[in-house]
Amino acid sequence: MKSASASSRRGQTRRAFLKNSSALAASATLAGIPRPGWTAGTDTIKIALIGCGGRGTGAAANALSTPGPTKLWAMADVFPNRLESSLKTLAGRFRDKVEVPPDRQFIGLTAYKQAMASLDKGSVVILATPPAFRPIHLEHAVNQGLHVFMEKSFAVDGPGVRRVLQAGEAARTKNLKIAGGLMWRHDLARQEAIRRIHEGAIGEIIMLRTYRMHGPVGYQPRPPGMSELAHQIANYNCFTWLNASFFVDWLIHNIDICCWAKNAWPVNAQGHGGRCARTEPDQLFDHYVVEYTFADGAKLFAQGRHIQRCYDIFSDLAHGTKGSAVIMESLSAPKPRFYKNQQMTPENEIWRYKGPEPDPYQLEHNLLFDAIRNDKPYNETERCAQAVLAAILGRMACESGKLVKWEDALNSTVELAPGLDKIESLDAPAPVQPDAQGRYPLAIPGITKAF
């Protein structure tokens, strides 16, 4: 847990951003001083994209859209078709900002090393592979002297979280900038709502609720000729060792927002989950329910479900001693609003956000590149690690059936994919293997070891 002074510093950072971000988003150019890693004689920042799926392609587009000259210099993925599709999309949109000839298109599990090696120190690498690889790739990027944007989630287990924290501290000593893909932290509407909550607009927070419940996660059967490891990476959302579970990888934003509203991280969690409708041969639970407890006894209830024909909801809600708040309610109607009591009905509404709503995905990249160009301190690693640890804590509780403490999760020695950084070929054995019926091992509450 952070100290009170650290929490205060976080609040000051958020307030400063509220004051300056509109000007940043509107600015057409930013003054830059050439630094190592920039193209000689210019202030162009080179970028390498590691992980060329949809989110990686989107992150690269955001990076190329930041104020000031940028150039996509290298790309890496384990699947050639994904790299080709991403390159076609980005080149079609950004044209002369994309300079990725065949000799800077790298394929395979070690492709990240080649892509990073093609950059000069002080360039930017975007890490958007499945979360299991994030600690490995972040550590290598920092060792190479590169600034980093890392997409969520940031680790899948306690050892991975600790590795991320160590890499973040090493980056701090090298003055490297690191941003994490928790974009709602940079959303102006969410920032304004959280600021008002911290100022007491709905009183002392006693309970928070968050939900991500919708249709099922897709699964693609293994085609002939594809290795088991490649099959699992292609379906990474379906394998716990790769994405840390549906609960972690899909609810991390919601859990982070709720902990931000409370201005604290939970001290423990208990919960339950399982498979009641899913029949695909993978590792996914199709429902999770977690009760988090904070140091003052306040609760956060988090629910995740992906089952057809059920009640769908995607919301973050806060309840205080003087009222309640909708921090987010679906992506189609996200405006935060406050109520004078616990009845969240129109006649009880006392405040609604009416300010600007620039794209938070773009803002998080604007902030990172501004910090690089103007040599400002910028390192979101610790907060990102804490957010994913909070989510992992909930998953541990559900899968083990135990009451799990924050320290238990952080100090856990359980690795979901031991020796992953030694696997260099898609023909290598996958960390989990199917049985004779083609089924993969599932967590069993009461038996599965959490930490």
Q: Which of 51, 39, 203 is nearest to 136 (CA)?
A: 51
Largest Cα span, the chain:
62
Contact call for residues 1 and 265 (beta carbons, < 8 A)? yes
The vertex-336 CA angle with 334 and 337, nearest 5°, equals 135
- How far apart are the C-alpha atoms of 54 and 342, rounded to whole Å? 39
The vertex-394 CA angle with 388 and 400, nearest 5°, equals 130
What tens digit of pLDDT does each residue of 173-228 get?
999 999 999 999 999 999 999 999 999 999 999 999 999 999 999 999 999 999 99
Structure token digits, residue 405: 């403490």
- How far apart are the C-alpha atoms of 342 and 322, rounded to whole Å? 9
- How far apart are the C-alpha atoms of 229 and 235, rounded to whole Å? 10
Q: Are strands 45-50 and 147-150 parallel, antiparallel or unpaired?
A: unpaired
Per-residue pLDDT, 51: 98
Find out whether the peptide bond into 85 is cis, omega within 30 degrees of 0. Answer: no
Segments of the chain with pLDDT less than 70:
1-42, 331-334
Per-residue pLDDT, 450: 84
Per-residue pLDDT, 241: 98
Per-residue pLDDT, 333: 56
**Cβ atoms < 10 Å from Cβ of 92:** 9
- How far apart are the C-alpha atoms of 434 and 123, rounded to whole Å? 41
Per-residue pLDDT, 329: 86
**Residue 74 is which amino acid?**
A
Q: What is the DSSP letter of 220?
A: -
User: Nearest 5°: phi and psi at 75?
Assistant: -140, 150
Mapped onto helix, strand or coil, the DSSP state of residue 16 is helix
Contact call for residues 125 and 148 (beta carbons, < 8 A)? yes
**Residue 204 is which amino acid?**
E
Q: Are strands 404-405 and 287-293 parallel, antiparallel or unpaired?
A: unpaired
Domain boundaries, the chain: 4-184+361-379, 193-356+389-422
In CATH, what number does 193-356+389-422 get?
3.30.360.10
What is the distance of C-alpha 149 from the center of its chain?
A: 10
CATH domain 4-184+361-379 topology? Rossmann fold (3.40.50)
**Residue 369 is which amino acid?**
F
**Cβ atoms < 10 Å from Cβ of 39:** 17
- How far apart are the C-alpha atoms of 100 and 112, rounded to whole Å? 15
- How far apart are the C-alpha atoms of 451 and 447, rounded to whole Å? 12
- How far apart are the C-alpha atoms of 450 and 393, rounded to whole Å? 9
Contact call for residues 414 and 157 (beta carbons, < 8 A)? yes
Contact call for residues 368 and 147 (beta carbons, < 8 A)? yes
Contact call for residues 299 and 312 (beta carbons, < 8 A)? no
Contact call for residues 59 and 149 (beta carbons, < 8 A)? yes
Contact call for residues 165 and 381 (beta carbons, < 8 A)? yes
Per-residue pLDDT, 330: 74
* pTM beyond 0.95, yes or no: no
- For residues 258-276, b (16+ Cβ closer than 10 Å) or e, as one string? bbbbbbbbbbbbbbebebe
Complete DSSP assignment for 65-102? TSSS-EEEEEEEES-HHHHHHHHHHHHHHHGGGB---G
**Same topology for domains 4-184+361-379 and 193-356+389-422, yes or no?**
no
Contact call for residues 63 and 369 (beta carbons, < 8 A)? yes
Structure token digits, residue 263: 């201005």
What tens digit of pLDDT does each residue of 243-281 get?
999 999 999 999 999 999 999 999 999 999 999 999 999
